Amino acid sequence: MNATNALSLPTNLADLKAAPAEYASVTDAGTSTQEPAKLLIDDAEIIRVANITKRVATSDGVLTIVNNANFSVLRGEAVAVVGASGSGKSTLLGLMAGLDTPTEGDIAINGESLFKLDEDGRAKLRGRLVGFVFQSFQLLPSLTALENVMLPLELAGAADAESRARVILDRVGLKDRVKHYPKQLSGGEQQRVAIARAFVTEPKLLFADEPTGNLDAKTGRRMIELLFELNQERGTTLILVTHDAGLASRCGRRLTIDAGVVTDEADQDTIARS
């Protein structure tokens, strides 16, 4: 994953069904029978990052995007990941979600070691525990709002996919837009569909990558209010990548990444050192 690129998904249903395992968190619970490996963590923790380093080869030599990061996130926390453009925020998020693989180290979600699992195993874990909200919405253009929200439930085998999708779309204010396709929706409406899709599977952990990046300021504020309302209602742990200081201040804790070093600004302790 490029350090400056946001997370992305296939853009049509055929590609989605044929997509590699990294997309299964919003589509599929996976079919791996691999036994989950365990990384011992405190019961209060939903995620632990242990000695994570990510290096990539460039024409100018080896670039270290994340350098020996060590931190944990407690269940129910709202954590902002901030840093300059190109600092590696989205790369760190991708590593935490198991969408990217580290050069060194390991990450546990709910006590399960991500990188001791194969791709199918990580996809199965994401399908059970994780939701995503993307900057560019990542809705499938050939599906209606209702079908986009139903999709992760259907691929996970939920018998009540339509009723659950209708309930969450009503909650985000789109009861009368369920039959509309993404191109028929405004940017704010598309992001509400994406938020509904993220929460419909009742994830324990939600990753949001610049969720207001493609919205105007007024619409962005409404989306953030909705995101935090749903997060509080459902007790989800929220990890949010943003360059917006106001948005970051809504979170109870802030992690800053600079030159590959991750610093916890809650207590000003450096938690990952060069």
State the CATH number of the domain containing residue 123: 3.40.50.300
Percentage, residues of the chain above pLDDT 90: 55
Whether residue 175 lies inside any domain: the answer is yes
Q: How many domains does the chain contain in total?
A: 1
Which region among 72-76, 188-192, 205-209, 267-271 has the lowest average model confidence (pLDDT)? 267-271
**pLDDT band (50, 70, 90) for residue 39:** low
Q: Comparing C-alpha atoms, which of 273, 262, 250 is closest to residue 88? A: 262
Q: Comparing C-alpha atoms, which of 150, 153, 145 is closest to residue 127? A: 153
Please give the average per-residue pLDDT across 250-262, as a whole number.
Answer: 93
Report d(CA 186, CA 202) in Å as an integer. Answer: 25
User: Model pTM?
Assistant: 0.77
Whether residue 58 lies inside any domain: the answer is no
**pLDDT for residue 246:** 83
Average pLDDT, the chain: 83
Whether residue 105 lies inside any domain: the answer is no
Percentage, residues of the chain above pLDDT 70: 81
**pLDDT for residue 6:** 47
Residues 79 and 251 sit within 8 Å (Cβ to Cβ): yes
Q: Which residue has the higher pLDDT, 221 or 130?
A: 130
**pLDDT for residue 233:** 85
Whether residue 64 lies inside any domain: the answer is no
Q: Report pLDDT digits (tens) over 211-245.
A: 888 778 888 888 888 888 888 888 899 999 998 88
Pick the most confident of 22-26, 152-156, 181-185, 240-244: 181-185
Tell me the one-letter amino acid at 223.
M
DSSP assignment letter at 249 = H
166: containing domain? 13-33+76-88+118-270
